Structure 1
Amino acid sequence: MADQTGCTPGDLIRTKLFNGRFSRVKMARVDLASYAELKKIGVNINQLAKHANGGKFPYGIRDLLIDLKRQEHQIINLLLTHDSQSEDR
């Protein structure tokens, strides 16, 4: 956790003792924007799953889900590539 917050383990423990909470994890900016977009996608997928479980499977949904899965893999690859090269932590 110290590495993720950008501080030493001692500083992390002192922050917890004096403030009652741990330091916030520093995320690269692209991660925050991607998180928000992925959350929107997740909400849409949940709505589709609810309809599918209710027996309402819209026409063309299979192709849409395949495309969403492809986009998910692209986003994950971009995030992993960016994160491994990121100095913005």
Structure 2
Amino acid sequence: MLVGMRGGFVYIMSNRKHGTLYVGVTADIVRRAYEHRIGCVEGFTRRYGLKRLIWFERHDEIMPAIQREKNIKNWPRAWKVRLVEAMNPDWEDLYPTLF
């Protein structure tokens, strides 16, 4: 169960397998993934319908999570796809696993 954990999370959202990718960072993965799912915040993820949480990584501190997000954002797409598929080869929505 991830609810109530401290620190930070780096995560990747998508709209479908091998679809558009979005890399983000948050202190509250449950809340942030929910916001993406319901599209309550205007921007890239809402515009492209990125509602599927396909990868995440927990960090004990928020600053390393922020740095990791910046690094991953600069990676080629193929590296991001490999990262996702190492954890989630079918690109299933991981949101239900957060509870």
Q: What is the TM-score of this pair, normalised by structure 1?
A: 0.27
The structure carrying a bigger helix percent of its residues is: 1
The structure carrying a bigger strand percent of its residues is: 2
Q: What is the TM-score of this pair, normalised by structure 2?
A: 0.25
